[in-house]
Amino acid sequence: MNADESACKQISPYSYSYSYSRTISSSKIFAEESDAYRLSSLLRSLVLRNNPRAKVPDDKGIIRWCAEMDRAIRLDKRTASELEQVINWCQDDEFWQTNILSPKKLREQFDKLWLRMNRKPKWEPPTPRIINEL
């Protein structure tokens, strides 16, 4: 029996049951210098700045956040710089700081956050003109 067959169990001649593990491998370690770790730590510190009693992972549990940030970089093709800008902006925004409390939510809302962050105001105050008196 090969590896593919061990994850698949035949229930009847026409249907199969697949079992996959969705747990994060404990062997996946993120170095403190990695972008995923740095961005996860940034988000955690800003969430705690806004709410010191927020439920955030400790140093040991941050691996899950790192894995999600790593997915944002690898799978979503976001740069560390883009993620950092959006994290800083959303945690300074009165509305978004209450909604983005984890890397998972950051990934889900990234496009919306990026557009809001880069949106120009609809109305700009007129610039004063200097009138030369003759």
pLDDT digit string, tens, across residues 41-67 = 999 999 999 999 999 999 888 999 999
Could you list the residue range(s) of the whole structural domain that residue 85 is in? 35-118
In a domain, residue 106? The reply is yes
The alpha carbon dihedral of 36, 85, 91, 73 has a sign of negative
Q: Does residue 8 register a pLDDT over 70?
A: no
Total domains in the fold of the chain: 1
Residue with tokens 């956050």: 113
In a domain, residue 2? The reply is no
In a domain, residue 11? The reply is no
Q: How far apart are CA 103 and CA 62, in angstroms?
A: 11
pTM: 0.70
In a domain, residue 74? The reply is yes
In a domain, residue 26? The reply is no
Alpha-helix residue ranges (DSSP H) falling in the chain = 3-6, 35-50, 62-74, 80-92, 103-118
Q: How many CB atoms lie within 10 A of CB 45?
A: 12
- pLDDT-based confidence at residue 13 (cuts at 50, 70, 90): low
In a domain, residue 123? The reply is no
**DSSP category for residue 76:** S
Q: How far apart are CA 63 and CA 66, in angstroms?
A: 5
In a domain, residue 91? The reply is yes
> 40 vs 8, 12, 14, 30, CA distance in Å?
35, 45, 45, 11
In a domain, residue 52? The reply is yes
